[in-house]
Amino acid sequence: MIIGVLKEIKIDESRVSLLPVGAELLIEHGHLILIETQAGSASGFSDDQYVSAGATVVSSAQEVYQRADLIIKVKEPLPQEHAFFAGRTNHFYLFPFCGFRKINPGNYPYQLYRYRLRNHRNSGWPFTSPNTHE
């Protein structure tokens, strides 16, 4: 699978959705990782660190969207990103669920699945069952 990592464009968002060590682990399991240039810079990770982990750095978000099977981001997609969505691409975002009622799933040109993150002592998994909105 080709996994794409984008630079966050939401104001005041400096996190990156995949660290170089995570890229390295995914690559070891046969995935190709595409990183938009400077995606990790606000979090203290250089393009060179991703390249050392085996990822491919690309020059634009558009290229990531065109080539990736799965897009991972920290924040929800902004309207200016909707034009890049392809029907074959899956997206994984960490939505701010405390404010999810303010986000209208009908405004997104794709099937929206949302997962609640929580600390569960017994299972060790951070996700609960999905809620689906079309």
Q: What is the pLDDT of residues 22-38, one digit of tens each?
A: 999 999 999 999 999 99
| Position 93 pLDDT exceeds 80 | no
* pLDDT at residue 111, as a whole number: 55
* pLDDT at residue 75, as a whole number: 80
Asked whether the beta carbons of 36 and 55 are under 8 A apart, the reply is no
Hey, what domains does the chain have and what are their CATH numbers? 2-94 (3.40.50.720), 99-134 (no CATH)
Tell me which of 56 and 102 has the higher pLDDT.
56
Summary count for the chain: helices (H), strands (E) = 3, 7
3-class SS at 47?
Answer: helix
Predicted confidence (pLDDT) per residue in 114-124, tens digit:
555 444 455 44
User: 0.85 exceeded by the pTM?
Assistant: no
* Buried/exposed 56-86: b ≥16 CB within 10 Å, e otherwise: bbbeebebbbeebeebbbbbbbeeebeebee
> Sign of the C-alpha dihedral, residues 90, 17, 126, 30?
positive
* pLDDT at residue 101, as a whole number: 45
* pLDDT at residue 80, as a whole number: 79
Q: How far apart (Å, rounded) are the C-alpha atoms in residues 6 and 115?
A: 20
